[in-house]
Amino acid sequence: MSLITASVIASSAEFNLENFVRHTLVKNPRIKVEKVQEIAHQSLEGRPGWTVYMFTMDLVMGKRKQQIPEMVFINPKEELAAMSLIDLKTGEDLRNTIKPKMPESFYNKKHLIAGNADAPHKIVVFSDPQCPFCLGYLPGLLKDVRAHPDKMALYYYHMPLKRLHPVSETLTRAMEYLQSHGRADEAMKFYSLKIDPREKNEKKILAEIKKQLGIDLKAADIDKPEYKTAVKADMNKAASMMVRGTPTVYFDGKYDPTRSAYKKYLK
The 10s digit of each residue's pLDDT in 214-248 is: 999 999 999 999 999 999 999 999 999 999 999 99
Q: What's the pLDDT band for 124 if we cut at 50, 70, 90?
A: very high
pLDDT of 8 above 70 = no
Strands 31-43 and 92-93, by their bridges, are unpaired
Per-residue pLDDT of 79-116, as tens digits, reads 899 999 999 999 999 998 899 999 999 999 999 999 99
Rounded Cα gap, residues 110 and 184, in angstroms: 10
Q: With a cut of 90, say whether residue 11 has pLDDT above it.
A: no
- Cross-strand partners of 92: 87
pLDDT given for residue 153 in this prediction: 99
- Please tell me the distance from the alpha carbon of residue 54 to that of residue 98, in angstroms, as a whole number: 9
Strand, helix or coil for residue 43: strand
Looking at residue 267, its pLDDT comes to 82
- pLDDT category of residue 5 using cuts at 50, 70 and 90: very low
The residues near 241 (Cβ < 8 Å, ≥ 6 apart) are 69, 99, 100, 102, 126, 248, 250, 255
- Locate the DSSP E strands across 19-63: 31-43, 51-61
**Domains of the chain by range and CATH?**
3-96 (no CATH), 104-265 (3.40.30.10)
pLDDT over threshold 70, residue 202: yes
pLDDT digit string, tens, across residues 35-82: 999 999 999 988 999 999 999 999 999 989 989 999 999 998 888 999
Which pLDDT tens digit goes with each residue over 152-182? 999 999 999 999 999 999 999 999 999 999 9
Collapsing DSSP states into helix, strand and coil, what is residue 58? strand
Q: Which residues contact 116 (CB under 8 A, 6 or more apart)?
A: 149, 150, 152, 153
Task: Kindly give the pairing relationship between strand 121-127 and strand 152-158.
Answer: parallel
